[in-house]
Amino acid sequence: MEPNKNLKVYTLKETENYLIHGRTDETQYPLPLFFNGSGIEVNVTGTELWIDVDVDFDIYEPWTSVELNGAFMGRQMLMPGKHSLCLFRGMSADVVKNVRFFRELQAMSEDNACRLLVNGFRCDGNFFPVIPKRFKLEFIGDSITSGEGTYGANEDMDWLPMYMSVSRNYAKMVSDALGAEYRLVSQGGWGVLCGWDNDPRHNIPSIYEQICGLAQGETNEKLGAKKPYDFSRWIPDAIIVNLGTNDAGAFRQPGWRDPVSGEVFRQRMQEDGTFHPKDVARFEEAVVSFLGMIRRNNPTSHIVWAYGMLGFELTFAITEAMSKYQRMSGDANIAFLQLPNTTEETVGSRTHPGVRSHERAAQIVIEYLETVLRA
C-alpha cells in the first residue's frame, strides 16, 4: 500500500511541531532513533498520516510500535530500505490526533548496521504543538529494561528482536501512570561491573555519558552515537537504575579472557556456594562509582536503585554500596526499592519477566515515585 499522492510531504526540517523521545543527536537529519522508547510524537489533524523512515541492519531487524490518542495500535518489524508507514487513515479531518511512534528494539551493540532514521511525515492536515509532560524519568538497565521476554510464548528461547519492547515495559507503564516523559539506557546482558559472561567491557557506566555508546561502527558514529550526551538539555525528576542481575549471573560463569592481553576477569564463587567477598567488594565499588557518575551529571534528580525482578542475590551488596556512597558524598537524595521476583505465573519468553511481571514491578515503582514526585 502506498501513500495517497495528494498528501503533503513534510521533512522534519519543515515540521515545527513535534516532540522527540529518547536520547539522540537532534542536529541530525534524518533523525536517528537509537534506544527502545526513542521515538517521535505529533498532534495532527487530517484524515491520513504516514511516517517516512530509513532502515538498515545486518542481523537484527528494528521493531516499532504506534500509539493513537494514548491507545496501543500495533507493532511491526521493518526491513532494510526507505519506507512510508501508515499511522492512521480515514479519520475525521478536523479532529486533532495524538500519535506516538516508538522504536521497540534496544540499541544493538551486536549489529553495527542496525539503524532506524526518521525523515518526516506525509499528511493532509496540520501539525500542532505537543504539550510537554509534567515529569521526566530516566531508566537505566539491562535486558529487563530492554523489555526482553515481554512478547512471545513462555517456551520461546531464541534471542530475537521481536521479544523485546517498550510497549509492554515497566518503564513505560510507570511513565504513563505518572504522566511522565521517559528515556531508556539499557542493554541486555550488561551490568554495573561486567556482563553476564564476566566481560568487563559490558558495563553500562562505560557508555552512560555518551548519547548512545552502545551503537558501534562508522555509520552510528556519523549519526552522533558517540557524542557526549548533554545532560543539561533534559533533566530527569527521577532516575531509576535496574542493574545487578547480570553481575550476579557472572559469578556462575567461566572467566572472560582478554583477546589482546590474555588476562582473565572473573567474579568467583567459593566452595560453599557463596560469592567471593573480594569480588563482591569489587562489585560494590562499581556501584559506588556509578552513583557518583549519575549524580555528577544529574545534580537534582532523585535516584532510585530498583532490583529484584530476576533474583535478589546482590540486594545486600547494592544496599551496602549505596550506604557507603551516602557516607562518602552526603547525598541523601537516593533510595533502594525491592522489586517482586518473577514467578512461573509471571514469566515471559526466554525465562525473562513477562508482561505480568513488568506490571507488578511497575506498580511498586509507581507507588513509590508518587510519594516523591507529587510531594
For the chain, counts of helices (H) and of strands (E): 6, 18
Q: Could you tell me the three cell numbers for 263? A: 588476562
CATH 3.40.50.1110 fits 135-373, yes or no: yes
The CATH architecture assigned to 8-128 reads Sandwich (2.60)
Q: Read off the pLDDT band of 3 (50, 70, 90).
A: confident
Q: Read off the pLDDT band of 5 (50, 70, 90).
A: confident
Percent of the chain with pLDDT over 70: 100
Average pLDDT over residues 244-273: 97
Describe the chain by its helix, strand, coil percentages, rounded to 5. 25, 30, 45
* SS3 (DSSP) at 246: helix
- pLDDT of the residue at 204: 98
Name the DSSP letter for residue 309: B
Alpha-carbon span 77 to 197, nearest angstrom: 29
Averaged pLDDT of the chain: 97
Average pLDDT over residues 332-361: 98
Q: What is the phi/psi pair of residue 289, to 5°?
A: -65, -40
Residue 28 has pLDDT above 80, yes or no: yes
Residue 2 has pLDDT above 80, yes or no: no
* pLDDT tens digits, one per residue of 334-347: 999 999 999 999 99
The CA-to-CA distance between both ends of the chain, in Å, stands at: 50
Q: Read off the pLDDT band of 62 (50, 70, 90).
A: very high
Residue 125 has pLDDT above 80, yes or no: yes
Residue 206 has pLDDT above 80, yes or no: yes
Q: Read off the pLDDT band of 362 (50, 70, 90).
A: very high
* CA dihedral of 213, 265, 261, 200, whole degrees rounded to 10: 0
Percent of the chain with pLDDT over 90: 97
The CA-atom distances, in angstroms, between 331 and each of 153, 298, 299, 338, 368 are 43, 12, 10, 20, 19
* pLDDT tens digits, one per residue of 230-255: 999 999 999 999 999 999 999 999 99
Q: Read off the pLDDT band of 103 (50, 70, 90).
A: very high
Contact 322, 334 (CB under 8 A): yes
Residue 4 has pLDDT above 90, yes or no: no
Q: Could you tell me the three cell numbers for 176? A: 504513563
Q: Could you tell me the three cell numbers for 9? A: 510531504
Place of cell 504543538: 129
Q: Could you tell me the three cell numbers for 30? A: 534524518
Residues in contact with 107: Cβ distance below 8 Å, sequence separation at least 6, in sequence order: 34, 35, 36, 186, 187, 212, 214, 215
- pLDDT of the residue at 16: 86
Which residue ranges make up each domain of the chain?
8-128, 135-373
* pLDDT tens digits, one per residue of 107-122: 999 999 999 999 999 9
Alpha-carbon span 310 to 290, nearest angstrom: 21
Give me the DSSP letters along 40-82.
EEEEE-SSEEEEEEEEE-SS---EEEEEETTEEEEEEE--SEE
- pLDDT of the residue at 374: 81
- pLDDT of the residue at 208: 98
Question: Bridge partners of 77?
Answer: 63
